[in-house]
Structure 1
Amino acid sequence: MKDKLNIIWKFILAIIRNKYLVIIVGFVIWVSFFDTYNLVDRYKNLRKLNELKKEANFFEEEIKIYKSQYQELFSNKEDLEKFAREQYLMKEKDEDLFIIISD
């Protein structure tokens, strides 16, 4: 049992004494956690970028919908009048407006 532990201990010491391996491990740790552009922050920024791209696509679709509604509204005078009456409660001079709220 002592021989196995001794062999394992010598192997661990040989790895630790290898200066190239220590430098590479140190470099990986530095780049992963301590650098200005570390991997953790890069991952967070990548997730944020993907969320913002999805949001931009959503708003582009909304803009398309609103542009088509705008074109439809201003292409026909009757539709414009209907929209003004429904949304802004507009009326003509000689008419009364009654708002009925249903439960």
Structure 2
Amino acid sequence: MKIVWEPSIYVGNAPVFCTLCGQRSYPVRNQQNQFLLAVIYNDRGVALGEACRDCVAVGTAGIHSRLQERIQSLEAKVAELRTFAEAEIQTPSLEQEFQVHRSNIS
């Protein structure tokens, strides 16, 4: 994996989500008033996403640590979603839906 600062392909100061930590990130403005993003490439030169300034700043060891934290967080979320998927799901009846809409109108 290689991280390279490049001109943003997005219009203006549009936020992106860091592929490494998942947090919202904004482009960095350089001295020429150009917005830059840290783009992540795999070993074949394919762009995988963007990295936030904080992830770039912590270096290789910090990125590995942040990735492990994110993996653990996502695995916990997957386990929670699996529990939801295995449970019986009961949705409101059509009459209950109509009652909600009627109460919002009045």
Q: TM-score range by the shorter chain?
A: 0.3 to 0.5
Whichever structure has more strand as a proportion of its residues is: 2
Q: TM-score, normalised by structure 1?
A: 0.36
Q: TM-score, normalised by structure 2?
A: 0.35
Whichever structure has more helix as a proportion of its residues is: 1
Q: Which has the higher contact order (CA 8 A, sep 6+)?
A: 2
